[in-house]
């Protein structure tokens, strides 16, 4: 019987990205790693799933302790299909990343990396997302490794409550001021669109924008990142607003 943990890894930057390949190497210290990740970049796909076309998965690499599969689906699809048709035993852990870019604050809702981890969590598997606040395709991920090792060790030791996962974001820095357990920062996107003329006429819009932090609490993930802390935001599948639930009982409906 194989006693090594099986660690399922995915992302939204695609299986060729430096971040996921860096992550896979670190995770091989803890168990057998199976990567099932999008065949192309699928950033900003959140928890999207694919129902309008079928999805293909194929093995692209194999060595002792590591298999890599390319999947035409979204990040969520990758986890769903990996669990259904790829892994030979239930994963011990689902890990997303290392994302090229910040997934703190409201970005958690748009993030395909968080899609991976929310999906793992919905399947009852302890799940952790790692993201680096740099979009550089050749970013240096080595400063993140020690914290990744500590977080993975801790999750393998403590587990995570059913329905909860971790969203870990790293500042773009060669060394960190520390690690902080955070809440999701309040913030929003502004100036989100840029108009362009099509060569044959007509206006098309590119999504762009600036993220504005509307929070100054040191316990808010985006604020902690700004202060050079690694931000770990425990995140729940259940996003019911229980306070509003109580107050709405007085509504006439």
Q: Looking at residues 5 to 34 of the shown chain, list those that interact with a copy of itself (rule: CB under 8 A).
A: none
Please select the residue that binds a copy of itself; options are 4, 59, 61, 150, rule is CB under 8 A: 150
Query: Interacting stretch for a copy of itself, rule CB under 8 A, among 15-23, 62-70, 91-99, 102-110?
Result: 102-110
Question: Which of residues 2, 200, 210, 245 is near a copy of itself by CB under 8 A?
Answer: 245
Of 39, 80, 100, 222, which lies in the binding site for a copy of itself, with binding defined by CB under 8 A? Answer: 80
244 binds a copy of itself (CB under 8 A): yes
Asked if 109 is part of the footprint of a copy of itself (rule: CB under 8 A), the reply reads: yes
Based on CB atoms, which residue is closest to a copy of itself, 58 or 63? Answer: 58
Q: Is 135 in the site for a copy of itself (CB under 8 A)?
A: no
Report the distance separating Cα 97 and Cα 15, nearest Å: 10
- Nearest CA among 190, 165, 161, 179 for reference residue 221: 179
By beta-carbon proximity to a copy of itself, the closer residue of 64 and 199 is 199
Contact 141, 133 (CB under 8 A): no
* CA gap 212, 188 in Å, rounded: 5
Q: Two tokens at 93?
A: 């852990």
Chosen residue from 1, 2, 174, 204 binding a copy of itself by CB under 8 A:
204
CB of 71 to a copy of itself, least distance (A): 9
Of residues 3 and 181, the one with the C-beta less far from a copy of itself? 181
The answer to whether residue 201 forms part of the interface with a copy of itself (CB under 8 A) is no
Number of residues lying near a copy of itself (CB under 8 A): 78
Cβ atoms of residues 136 and 98 within 8 Å: no
Interface pick for a copy of itself out of 1, 2, 51, 88 (rule CB under 8 A): 51
CB of 106 to a copy of itself, least distance (A): 6
Q: Which member of 16, 183, 211, 212 binds a copy of itself (CB under 8 A)?
A: 183
User: How do strand 164-170 and strand 229-236 relate by DSSP bridges?
Assistant: antiparallel
Cα–Cα distance for residue pair 70/36, rounded to 1 Å: 6
d(CA 68, CA 37): 8
In whole angstroms, the minimum distance from the beta carbon of 156 to a copy of itself comes to 12
Q: Please tell me whether residue 200 binds a copy of itself under the rule CB under 8 A.
A: no
Residue 161 CB contacts under 8 Å (≥ 6 apart), including other chains: none
CA distance 180 to 45: 27
Q: How far is CA 149 from CA 28, 119, 183, 194, in A?
A: 11, 22, 22, 41
């Amino acid at each position: 019987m194989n006693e090594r943990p099986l660690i399922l890894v995915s992302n939204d930057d695609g299986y060729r990205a430096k971040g996921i390949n860096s992550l896979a190497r670190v995770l091989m210290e803890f168990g057998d790693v199976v990567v099932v990740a999008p065949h192309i970049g699928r950033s900003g796909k959140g928890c999207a799933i694919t129902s309008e076309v079928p999805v293909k998965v194929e093995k692209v690499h194999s060595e002792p302790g590591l298999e890599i599969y390319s999947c035409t689906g979204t990040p969520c699809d990758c986890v769903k299909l990996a669990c259904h048709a790829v892994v030979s035993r239930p994963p011990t852990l689902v890990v997303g990343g290392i994302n090229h870019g910040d997934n703190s604050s409201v970005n958690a809702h748009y993030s395909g990396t968080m899609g991976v981890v929310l999906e793992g969590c919905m399947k009852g598997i302890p799940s952790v997302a790692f993201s680096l606040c740099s979009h550089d395709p050749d970013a240096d991920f080595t400063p993140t490794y020690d914290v990744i090792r500590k977080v993975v060790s801790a999750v393998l030791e403590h587990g995570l409550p059913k329905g909860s996962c971790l969203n870990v974001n790293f500042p773009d820095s060669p060394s960190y001021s520390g690690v902080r357990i955070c809440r999701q920062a309040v913030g929003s996107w502004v100036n989100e669109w840029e108009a362009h003329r099509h060569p044959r006429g007509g206006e098309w819009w590119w999504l762009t924008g600036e993220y504005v932090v509307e929070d100054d609490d040191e316990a808010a993930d985006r604020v902690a990142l700004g202060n050079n802390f690694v931000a770990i935001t425990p995140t729940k599948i259940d996003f019911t607003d229980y306070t509003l639930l109580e107050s709405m009982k007085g509504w006439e409906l």
